[in-house]
Structure 1
Amino acid sequence: MDARRGRLTALEYINGILCGDRVKLAQAITVIESELEADGELAERILEGVLPQSGKSRRLGITGVPGAGKSTFIDELGMHLLRDQGENVAVLSVDPSSQISGGSILGDKTRMTRLAAEDRAFIRPSPARGHLGGVARRTRETLLLCEAAGYRNVIVETVGVGQSETAVRSMTDFFLLLMAPGTGDELQGMKRGIMEMIDGMAINKADGDNRARADQARAEYESALHLFPAAADGWAPRVLTCSALSGEGVAEVWGMVLEHGAHMKSNGHLEERRRNQALDWMKELLATGLDEMFHRDQEVGRRLPVMVEEVRRGHISSFGAAREMLVLFHRRGRAAGAKE
């Protein structure tokens, strides 16, 4: 243990995670999310240690428009998994708070009250920190830690409908779009790109006076989805209705997820999707690593503010400034390599 920083050794974290120790899991995720260089090296060792035990979970991504009731739906779905299926679940969700504050302390635990009280559920609210659409920078790594800790089902929730869908789609097996009936402009306001990404849709709040409107919305979405070309994996996205408040239809939504998983396994597309996800992860790490190296360079740090001001004053084009900074960084990298 590194007493100076309050950190355990990589092996202590790894053993704790593999034994299902929730405290060690939470502590390891804190290391993963840390911006400290020393923690980055520790995080890499932890990930390498648990990676062979990951990849055995169902990965479900959930997005939806504001007011669709995502938190209530996830709470009910999680309870269905625990209560009716005898399984466990981990929920990774961006905390719906200001990017300035970096996220609240309680976060999703106050939005998913029943799951938060369950020993077989693990909820990790991650601060947005201004990252793409609110998806935490290390969500993918956190997912792997949860899998290694024995969580059979991992749910990743996005904030609203925005740019984060692509990131979540690249780390999950099934991507669910949650909608609410009766908003009036559902089809007009829905981005085509998101509709092309989904594996299924659920119209939530299909209860009481909303039931007829939910059925109407379902028919409209089914017609819209038929206009899209067939997916290469042979799966046709479905539209179901449910009520997270009463629980009606939630089991059917989960049944759709399971049927999709069986379909993808049978034709080999699940393995292919996972391989592509691993490649996406590598590209993301490369981009992040190069960005960090660039901004850590001392000469770049001295020159960059000057170039920013030059662009602002119109003395140099954005293209020219970027090219000059990249050339500077490249030359310094070659010089450092020559010294070694």
Structure 2
Amino acid sequence: MDIGTLAAQVIKGDRRALARAITLVESGRADHREQAADLLQRVGKAGRQALRIGLSGTPGVGKSTFIEAFGLMLTGQGNRVAVLAVDPSSTRSGGSILGDKTRMERLSRDPNAYIRPSPSQTHLGGVARRSREAVALCEAAGFDIVLIETVGVGQSETMVAEMADLFILLLAPAGGDELQGVKRGIMEIADIILVNKADGDLKSAAMRTCADYAGALRLLRRRPQDPEGFPKAATVSAIDETGIAGAWAEMRTLVDWRRAQGHWASRRAAQARFWFEEEVRLGLLAQLTAQPETRKMMADLGEKVGQGALTPAAAAQKLLSHLKSCR
């Protein structure tokens, strides 16, 4: 594979080249990782930036339905939209369904939209390990907006905030009271909370839930990257497609303010540093487990932990002390 040719095709907006590029960066093979690093360096020189929007919510809240309605509205306004959907992987087989295109049937046929499902594999935090690199490739391919849909695991789904400019949390009607809203973790990093399914018999429940969360948000400490009134809560209906245009207007207001105040650039820089450190940590761990002596010692210590001869903390300390003495 010629990386220079692939990079040029991605920058031209070739969808097949983009698919091949994302497959390359998702590979764990050592030679593919070297090629992926070269590819990302080349496409990064294009200097393109898209609005990155992370969307999270519990399973069944209607993330895919909302993304389809939201994406169609955006493409209708002339925007090119990429959707990176992360599917949970089985802890037994390691497989994923990857059925997001079937759940976004209308959007998948839109020529200005691109949908790419990816398995979460063993990565925690609601996103795949290489989602950030896939976002960079979509930016280089000329997409204006990149939507990152997380797996929907709940309060621990905070990693997406480290790769997005906006973090949108979708909630279901009657999903909790005001006390539920002040939970730390995913609540305190959300920029906008949208209560979905505000239609039919659930509309009144959605309005009450929105009011509860709006009150809870006022109890959270003000963040420097937020203007007055943010973060805020609103109701939407992905089925009736109501409230979505208003939510988009709120997102643009927040983005424009952050750009004007310098928070956009500083946040992008902080995210780049975060992922540099994350790559170093993961790389060191991979090198560590690749050494036969270390793998054997880990297996022996693990056996002792399983027998009750050592506590997990004591076994870990022994391994770390051994590694320190080997420097």
TM range (shorter): over 0.9
Aligned to 2:310: 316
Match of 1:290 in 2: 284
- State the match for 2:19 in structure 1: 26
- Residue in 2 aligned with 1:40? 33
Pick one of 305, 319, 327 that aligns with 1:325: 319
Letter in 2 for 1:294: L
Aligned amino acid, residue 176 of structure 1: I
Q: Output one character per residue of 1:205-243: Cα deviation in whole Å (capped at 9) or x when no partner.
A: 111222222222221111111111111123311111111
AA aligned opposite 2:46 = Q
Instruction: Tell me the amino acid that sits aligned with residue 319 of structure 2.
Output: M
Once the two structures are superposed, what CA deviation does each residue of 1:253-276 show, in whole Å capped at 9, x if it has no partner?
111111110010011011111111
Q: Aligned pair 1:61/2:54, yes or no? A: yes
- Contact 1:178-1:203 within 8 A present in 2 as well: yes
Q: Which amino acid aligns with 1:115?
A: L
User: Which residue does the alignment assign to 2:66?
Assistant: 73
Where structure 1 has 5 or more consecutive residues not aligned to the other structure, the ranges are 1-7, 335-340
SS of equivalent to 2:32: helix
What is the SS of the residue equivalent to 2:85?
strand
Which structure 2 segments of 5+ residues have no match?
none
* 1:103–1:128 Cα contact (<8 Å) kept: no
Alignment of 1:196-275 (within 5 A): 196-235=188-227, 236-275=230-269
Correspondence for 1:301 among 291, 295, 298: 295
Asked if the contact 2:57/2:171 (under 8 Å) is kept, the reply is yes
Per-residue CA deviation, residues 67-98 of structure 1 (Å, 9 max, x unaligned), is 21110000000000111x11111111112453
Q: Is 1:49 aligned to residue 42 of structure 2?
A: yes
Contact 2:98 2:118 in 1 (8 A): no
Q: Which of 5, 8, 31 matches 1:15?
A: 8
Distance 2:246 2:74 in 1: 12
Identity of aligned residues (%): 42
Q: Distance in 1 between the 2:123 and 2:193 partners?
A: 26
Equivalent position of 2:157 in the other structure? 165
* CA-based RMSD: 1.8
Counterpart among 108, 120, 123 of residue 112 in structure 2: 120
Alignment of 1:62-211 (within 5 A): 62-83=55-76, 85-96=77-88, 98-104=90-96, 106-162=98-154, 165-183=157-175, 185-190=176-181, 191-211=183-203
User: Structure 1 241/140 Cα, relative in aligned 2: closer, same or farther at 3 Å?
Assistant: same
**What is the DSSP-based 3-state SS (H/G/I as helix, E as strand, rest coil) of the residue aligned with 1:53?**
coil
Q: Is the 8 A contact 2:126 2:160 kept in 1?
A: no
> Does structure 1 conserve the Cα–Cα contact (< 8 Å) formed by 2:125 and 2:160?
no
The answer to whether the Cα contact below 8 Å between 1:132 and 1:163 also exists between their aligned partners in 2 is no
For the residue of structure 2 that corresponds to 1:150, the secondary structure is coil
Change (3 A) 1:30 1:18: same
CA contact (8 A) 1:187 1:221 kept: yes
Q: CA deviation at 1:302?
A: 2.3
8 A Cα contact 1:241 1:249, kept in partner: yes
Q: Structure 2 vs 1, CA of residues 263 and 200 (structure 1 numbering), >3 Å: closer, same or farther?
A: same
Q: Indicate the residue corresponding to 1:3 in structure 2.
A: none
Rounded to whole Å, the distance in 2 between the matches of 1:49 and 1:147 is: 13
